[in-house]
Amino acid sequence: MHAFTTLLLAVPALVSLAGCDQQPDMELESFALEGRDVAATYGRTLVAELQAAMANGGPVAGIAVCHEAAPAIANAVGTDRGLDVGRTSLRVRNPANAPDQWERAVLTRFDKAVGAGRDAASLEHVEMVEAGGRRAFRYLKAIPTAPLCLTCHGTDIDGEVLAVIEDYYPDDQARNFAVGDIRGAFTITKWLGD
């Protein structure tokens, strides 16, 4: 099977979507648009819940949102569309969000692009892949580190907040980020056929 690949570096415009065989570029472009929409919905919903929790209970309440509400939001957004939705990173806090081989490769390219001066907010990737005899559309949208993120993911984390993070996540790797770094990515998969 041939892979369909493009690194999408301009939002919302798509760069060339190269295809081969019978797979029309339009299917890949359509999934890119769907992936972008799902990532935006997930991101908006998560940020709104995170901000509300932090306004009411401070950063410690925000940790609970990321721990409990984020997976539920991903599930709700994905189930509505028949998609697998989640978050991943090269430096995970929750080991359940560790990247698979495909995600790791794309995230590594994202990091290199940011190192070369690209804006993390503009990075996304869509591809048709085959894994375990099944085909799928896969989409990854970078999550840039925003100022709000530094409360729990920066270099100067409050002692009480750090203690709660370490209680939830003893193997935490998601610290020492700066604004504009790639904190992680939204990952979306649409399985094709059975």
- The pLDDT assigned to 194 comes to 59
Structure tokens at 63: 């940790």
Q: What is the 3-state secondary structure (H, E, C) of 28-96?
A: HHHHHHHHHHHHHHHHHHHHHHHHHHHHHHHHHHHHHHHHHHHHHHHHHHHHCCCCEEEEECCCCCCHH
**What DSSP state is assigned to residue 99?**
-
Q: If you average pLDDT over residues 85-92, what whole number do you get?
A: 96
In the predicted model, is pLDDT for residue 68 greater than 80? yes
Query: Using 50, 70 and 90 to split pLDDT, how confident is the model at 24?
Result: low
Where are the chain's structural domains?
A: 4-11+23-192
Residues 134-157, buried b or exposed e (16+ Cβ, 10 A)? Answer: eebbbbbbbbbbeeebbbbbbeeb
Region 120-144: mean pLDDT is: 92
Q: How confident is the model at residue 17 (pLDDT cuts 50, 70, 90)?
A: very low
Mean pLDDT calculated for residue range 45-64 = 92
Pick from 124, 131, 121: nearest CA to 100: 131
Full DSSP string of 154-167: SSS--HHHHHHHHH
For helices 159-168 and 25-64, what crossing angle results, to 10°?
A: 120
Ranking 16-20, 28-32, 34-38, 186-190 by mean pLDDT, the lowest is 16-20
Neighbours of 117 (CB within 10 A): 6
What span, in angstroms and rounded, lies between the C-alpha atoms of 45 and 51? 10
Q: Give pTM, 2 decimals.
A: 0.84
pLDDT over 70, % of the chain: 87
